[in-house]
Amino acid sequence: LTLQTGGAGSGSSASAGSLVVKTDSTTQLTVAPDALTMSPNGTTVMTVSNSSVTASRNVVLDGTAQLQTASGDLTLAPGGTPVMTLGTDVQVSRAATFSQSITVGSLGSADGTAGSVAGSGLTLTSGSGQGNTSAAAGGVLTLQTGASGSGSSASAGNLVMKTGSTSQLTVSAVAT
């Protein structure tokens, strides 16, 4: 079965039209020469062309589905502004706010690799209090080493502050 609209003539002015699938008077699917548009219940949810796929509703993946690229990195760019790139590493190009705790193996500055390449300065702040009101106040920044486990052999490590490779301040746990 072949469904075809327009463009079958041999004249130079012959042009293809669109194939429209409807239920009652509601358009469900439109196949045009340059795009495929899906509109369940008359609401456009996805348009596919030769250059892009546009989803105008949430894309929900089931529990076994994966979001993948054929090759290269995956970039998240809301409004066309890249904010995160996922590849062999994760690059966040905008400020990030975490509402829950995070765990990292090492933390490095933006243009350096943690511990091996000199990078720009790294600043950790907690509620830095740089607001416009007189009530703006700084928060508490807690640096913790070890001993967060509940096992009897859990022990705290040292907190060492260095400039270059020279230790300037060492905070050690006191045995009680």
pLDDT tens profile 111-131: 555 554 444 566 666 665 555
CA-angle at 155, arms to 152 and 159, nearest 5°: 165
User: How many whole angstroms separate alpha carbon 95 and alpha carbon 122?
Assistant: 14
Weakest mean pLDDT among 29-33, 53-57, 90-94, 152-156: 152-156
User: How many whole angstroms separate alpha carbon 170 and alpha carbon 8?
Assistant: 82
Tell me if the pTM is above 0.85. no
